[in-house]
Structure 1
């Protein structure tokens, strides 16, 4: 029997209208749709494409929100095992992931493991969240000779603040307060904007990050212009 193929499908930042035509086609043609499952809350990526994958067989893939690399690697290994069983049965599997699968994506670890076992896997790009955020703010990410630096804000980002570039701080969440303070200390706060839950229910657009005081949740992006 011919093996199936794995697709890592970026479904965009939240607005279902930003799902690409190619992503929609791959999802409709797939035999099984793999869904990241953090164990609590809504399945955000699934909600974006729920109408597209209605009636499809779903494979829920546990991806806990922890930083223990050994625990995470064990989860990715098990997900790869489950997917490879399906591929051996000749089924095509589409693994959905928020934004683009090449930008801080949980999926990419599974992708590498499946490829290393000799299976065929393909990445389907999606609209990155920071592009949607810039559009929502009605501004550019970078112009002319400006550089763009993309930073995971949930990790220590202080060493990036002094680099001369426009900056995108992704997944700011719990780091919002600390990031505000660090930007204020460098006189950069007035050039910062925030969008949380871009394109989703509960979207928050804050053109002036200095005015934001409440919590914003995990899906928060801060854009700082040089």
Structure 2
């Protein structure tokens, strides 16, 4: 057993490999194994980033990349069985390898799948070291040329589902809405809910080849990698 059981949790940024930090690059390159969560389309994007980072390097010296399945379901018992299986696999690998990394898109402390197994790993004696990455809010605000906050501005970051439970938005200068519905999505509905006096930006897959950003209040094809930024005038 590896006496110092340590797992690096690495943020690969929002999708553009050039936005991967130097520390993140160094960490994944020195790893023996890199875990990639299979949840929605995340593993395809994470694997694509890793492939581009590894391009041109000696294949024999590259780390093994392993998928960890995280089903998109609210069935607690079903989810728990997969989480326990993932934790057991990481613990088993830690007994045989020195450097293991868990790679996610965005930043690992911000709506990351890793949060589902962090406590379980710590209870098994695994220490966690986070390597932060550029998150989707930073990426989309930069690509949209919209400031999230300045001075004493108040910012709310929430999910679309929780947004529907909030009664008033007057005290917020900026509202960031994550996890907008998949399929047809109406920016107009959010505008009607939150009111006038704000600039609304819908952004999908920022910094990726399929990036899409609009201020128009039409029906859009929302997906897991979409968000809305509402900024008060």
The residue that corresponds to 2:68 in the other structure is: 61
Taking a change above 3 Å as real, the CA distance of residues 72 and 189 of structure 1, as seen in their structure-2 partners, is farther
**Unpaired runs of at least 5, structure 1:** none
Q: Secondary structure at the match of 2:36?
A: strand
Indicate conservation of the 8 Å contact 1:31/1:93, yes or no. Answer: yes
2:208 matches 1:200: yes
Taking a change above 3 Å as real, the CA distance of residues 209 and 94 of structure 1, as seen in their structure-2 partners, is farther
The residue that corresponds to 1:44 in the other structure is: 45
Aligned residue among 105, 110, 117 for 2:117: 110
2:201 matches 1:215: no
Indicate conservation of the 8 Å contact 2:37/2:43, yes or no. Answer: no
Indicate conservation of the 8 Å contact 1:27/1:53, yes or no. Answer: no
The residue correspondences of 1:9-20 to structure 2 (distance < 5 A) are 9-20=10-21
Q: What are the superposed Cα offsets for residues 56-85 of structure 1, whole Å, 9 maximum, x if unpaired? A: 212210011112233222222111110000
Shift of 1:33: 0.6
The residue correspondences of 1:131-210 to structure 2 (distance < 5 A) are 131-153=138-160, 155-160=161-166, 162-163=168-169, 164-165=171-172, 166-174=174-182, 177=185, 180-188=188-196, 191-206=199-214, 208-210=215-217
Shift of 1:47: 1.2
State the alpha-carbon separation in 1 of the partners of residues 11 and 154 from structure 2.
25
CA RMSD of aligned residues (A): 2.3
Indicate conservation of the 8 Å contact 1:189/1:209, yes or no. Answer: no
Taking a change above 3 Å as real, the CA distance of residues 66 and 143 of structure 1, as seen in their structure-2 partners, is same
**TM-score normalized by the length of structure 1:** 0.89
**Unpaired runs of at least 5, structure 2:** 56-61
2:39 matches 1:31: no
Q: Secondary structure at the match of 1:50?
A: helix
State the alpha-carbon separation in 2 of the partners of residues 41 and 148 from structure 1.
26
Q: Secondary structure at the match of 1:225?
A: strand
Count of aligned pairs between the two proteins: 223
Indicate conservation of the 8 Å contact 1:19/1:127, yes or no. Answer: yes
State the alpha-carbon separation in 2 of the partners of residues 144 and 176 from structure 1.
36
The residue that corresponds to 1:121 in the other structure is: 128
Q: What are the superposed Cα offsets for residues 157-204 of structure 1, whole Å, 9 maximum, x if unpaired? A: 213362321111112133863663142244248621011011112110
State the alpha-carbon separation in 2 of the partners of residues 200 and 192 from structure 1.
21
Taking a change above 3 Å as real, the CA distance of residues 219 and 173 of structure 1, as seen in their structure-2 partners, is farther
Indicate conservation of the 8 Å contact 1:7/1:93, yes or no. Answer: yes
**TM-score normalized by the length of structure 2:** 0.86
